[in-house]
Amino acid sequence: MTPIRGLFILAGFPLLFLLSTGCASQKKEPAPVLSSESTCIQGTVWLQGPNSSYPTRYPRAKVTAWRHGTEEPLGEAVADERGNYCLQIPLAGYRADLRVWGLMNFRGKNYACRSEINNISLSGVSKRCGTGQECTRIDIMTVCEEFIPARRRN
């Protein structure tokens, strides 16, 4: 087989594969329409360090919102360098839970930092982060404890 003929065979294989699998004739389902009605929760994430009696801001902390009492996620945000966050979630007349969980290393030891605020009543008015509108304000205080991973049993 000449190199040019081999090139044509290789170039034609993907086309043959697509036609034989039916990709060219499949209809794509439209993307689900997301509600434009949403509200926001904003605040500051604070860190109560392992060896500190004063709270400090917790930069880049991940804040997640869940439908109250369930494992249904509503949204997430990452705090900025000063620990400030703004979380946009769907407006649907329910209550929410906020969770923060993260790992940090302090003086050679690993710490798990976490917090949970439950049963938050949300504003029934559509509001957006970054527009100057007053979002529901919730500051979150995390507590850090030494993290010792479980050992595997052989």
| Domain spans of the chain, in order of start | 38-146
Query: What's the confidence (pLDDT) of residue 104?
Result: 84
Output the average pLDDT for the chain: 78
Mean pLDDT across 113-127: 90
Beta bridge partners of 86: 42
| Structural contact between residues 83 and 17, judged by C-beta atoms closer than 8 angstroms | no
Q: How far is Cα 95 from Cα 123, in angstroms, rounded to an integer?
A: 10
Q: Does domain 38-146 have CATH number 3.40.50.970?
A: no
pLDDT in tens, 4-15: 444 333 344 333
pLDDT in tens, 128-148: 999 988 899 999 999 998 888
Q: How far is Cα 79 from Cα 62, in angstroms, rounded to an integer?
A: 6
Phi, psi of 43 (to 5 degrees): 170, -160
Beta bridge partners of 106: 109
